[in-house]
Amino acid sequence: MARRPGTTKRRHKARGKARVLVVDDHPVVRQGLRLLIDHESDLEVCAEAETVADALEAITKHKPDVAVVDLSLRGTSGLELIKDIRVRHADLPVLVLSMSDESVYAERVLRAGASGYLMKEAATDEVLTALRRVLDGGIYLSDAMASRLLAQLVRGVPADGGSPVDRLSDRELEVFGLIGRGLGTGEIARRLHLSPKTIETYRAHIKQKLNLADAAELLQHAIYYVRDSEGGS
């Protein structure tokens, strides 16, 4: 896809390998990405992080050329991290690598400031291709997702007619996903550093937007959403 306006060529060219920050709360995933990336002659992992706070600290300390970010992190979501990076480190490209369904999240992460979205089921060669694309200032999406967004741009409506979940804000979608993982209001509030009253307000908005009758129906739909969007994991 086209290069982002205002982006530049790879900043690492003058100093050798591109430095990659890997942000994921699963050690096995981080290790796998490190092995994959460090095997390449033009790429190297300069740091790893499992939380938003750790990631922001690593960016300041290690000065990566690109960040690979999962959406499911401990505490605040990867979407919030992307927004923080856009504000604090506007020239740092972000590639999202997630289990979450690209049809739900790809457009959201691009709006938040990411340069690409790739699902974890993708082949290793595609991960490397996506990394190099965003390092060069481009945008990376799967062919299917790129076609969908192009159709939306041309027709003015989503290519598949849209999903009710698309009506949710980023924070509402995050709360919806946590509900689907079995978290109660108090636990969600602690994880997101919000008050229980605020979470209850989000729950009410979600029920209204998805036309759900009560808390039981909300929980049922949230469980189905998590199962479907993350491939049953």
Q: Out of 3.40.50.2300, 3.90.950.10, 3.60.20.10, 3.60.150.10, select the CATH number for domain 13-152.
A: 3.40.50.2300
Give the Å distances, CA to CA, from 92 to 49, 95, 194, 231. 16, 10, 28, 30
Region 188-211: mean pLDDT is 91
| Confidence band for 138, pLDDT divided at 50, 70 and 90 | very high
pLDDT beyond 90 at 15: no
Domain ranges of the chain: 13-152, 164-229
In 3D, which of 170, 197, 172, 173 has the Cα closest to residue 185? 197
Q: Which residue has the higher pLDDT, 3 or 75?
A: 75
pLDDT beyond 70 at 2: no
CATH (residue range 164-229): 1.10.10.10
Q: Is the pTM of this model over 0.95?
A: no
Region 19-48: mean pLDDT is 96
pLDDT beyond 50 at 216: yes
**Rounded CA separation 165/146 (Å):** 20
